[in-house]
Chains A and B, each alone.
Chain A
Amino acid sequence: MMPKHCFLGLLLMFLTSTTEMQPAHVSLKLQKVQFQSRNFHNILHWQPGSSLTSNGSIYFVQYKMYGQRQWKDKIDCWGTTALFCDLTNETLDPYQPYYGRVMMSCAGSHSAWTMTPRFTPWWETKLGPLAVTITRVNASLRALLRPPELPNRYQIGKNTSMENYYDLVYRVFIINNLLEKEQKAYEGTQRAIEIEGLTPHSRYCVVADMYLPMLDRRSPRSQERCVRIP
């Protein structure tokens, strides 16, 4: 059974290609083949060149580290119909540059490989947000910051964490709802923070983020957590 849309797409391309070479070539080529990386989870994404070829197409994914000769097949994404492929386990060293590439196959014919730009997780991954839990202890606040989880391999052996890859600092902000003013209550490397000197009978909200001084980057903020001081 030939997938219908895919076949129509190819037919159209064939017809246009007899009169004009360029459009057929352009539409078969995959678009936006790139890594999207969050907390070192590295997902390869792509788009079909033309919506006509999106239905019924299957995709093949390969990857390698920069400098290696051989491309390796990603078995889980070998003939996938999805438009993404999780290459986290194939790109585990955050300091190494990697490449991925994708080929489309449709009704028996296939496209050329389209390659990602060089991808270095350490530089390109987006960190955060933190998860924050707060508890009230008498008139002070205790905030616990939990950084996002890293892919499995990072946690084997030593308790490897974000701190091993970046000289990051945690920042905690408090907002007093009476004053409607935000202030930085903490900046440092601790994950358990106590905030004292709060005004009684008011509500406080806490948000936190991570800051990477070396790259001058900050993570998105955590969800706001609020508590009332009696």
Chain B
Amino acid sequence: MAVLQKSMSFSLMGTWAASCLLLIALWAQEADALPINSQCKLEASNFQQPYIVNRTFMLAKEASLADNNTDVRLIGEKLFRGVNAKDQCYLMKQVLNFTLEDVLLPQSDRFQPYMQEVVPFMTKLSNQLSPCHISGDDQHIQKNVRRLKETVKKLGESGEIKAIGELDLLFMSLRNACV
């Protein structure tokens, strides 16, 4: 009888301990994931304003007419290769910041009136993503971003035009990755 009772209480203890361990494990996992993903986020409402959506697509359309290089694409399957879904918003943040600083600002007098409306919108998204960081190794992400930057630099001004022509893709990728 005593033996039976002992083994029973032992198995109860075991279950309790196991649940505790499981809870701790779950909690630890969540704590680990929380600081990364919660910051890399954009409100869906950013992408639901028809005026600016249309302006962004029209600007891209206008610039893409001036882009005769149909072989080279900046925002495509290659950019996301090897990048986890949860890190893609961080990746797009890098692309967005590069596009703002090295493409849109130097070209800001062109493609009016769209440019003067789209730049503040993109700037706003960039500000919202400023707390977005990832912990740990981001080398593979930086490698993909670097490839994009190098392509733009190598093509010179037509690379900048190409990047403007892909603002629709930038918009949709930000939406997919960050909302």
Contacts and interface: CB of A to CB of B under 8 A. Distances in A.
Interface in B16-45: none
B61 interface: yes
Interface in A68-114: 68-69, 95, 97, 99
A66 to B, nearest CB: 5
Contacts of A69: 71
Contacts of B65: 117-118
Interface residues of A, number: 19
A123 interface: yes
Contacts of A123: 57, 168
Given A214-B47, A216-B51, A216-B54, A118 B71 contact: no
Nearest to B68: A115
Given A97-B169, A118-B64, A213 B50 contact: yes
A120 B53 CA distance: 14
Nearest to B65: A117
A70 B72 CA distance: 11
A61 to B, nearest CB: 15
Nearest to A64: B70
A67 interface: yes
Interface in A108-148: 115, 117-118, 120, 123
Contact of A95 (B47, B48, B54, B172): B172
Contact of B165 (A64, A68, A118, A213): A118
B48 A214 contact: yes
A179 interface: no
Contacts of B172: 95
Contacts of B70: 64, 66-67, 99, 115, 118
B121 to A, nearest CB: 14
Most interface-central of B64, B67, B72 (chain A CB within 10 A): B64
Most interface-central of A64, A97, A99, A216 (chain B CB within 10 A): A97
Interface in B50-100: 50-51, 53-54, 57, 61, 64-65, 67, 70-73, 76
Given A115-B70, A117-B61, A123-B57, A213 B169 contact: no
A215 interface: yes
Contacts of A115: 70
A67 B64 contact: no
A215 B169 CA distance: 16
Given A117-B65, A118-B61, A66 B54 contact: no
A114 to B, nearest CB: 13
Contact of B53 (A67, A95, A215): A215
A216 B72 contact: no
Contacts of A117: 61, 64-65
Contacts of A66: 70, 73, 76
Nearest to A117: B65
A210 B71 CA distance: 36
Interface in B84-135: none
Nearest to A215: B50
A75 to B, nearest CB: 21
B64 A216 contact: no
Nearest to A122: B172
A29 to B, nearest CB: 16
Interchain residue pairs A-B with the least CB separation, the first 5: A67-B73, A216-B50, A118-B64, A67-B76, A69-B71
Interface of A: 64, 66-69, 95, 97, 99, 115, 117-118, 120, 123, 167, 213-217
Given A117-B61, A215-B50, A216-B50, 20 more contacts: A64-B70, A66-B70, A66-B76, A67-B70, A67-B71, A68-B71, A97-B169, A99-B70, A115-B70, A117-B65, A118-B61, A118-B64, A118-B65, A118-B70, A118-B165, A123-B57, A123-B168, A167-B48, A213-B50, A215-B54
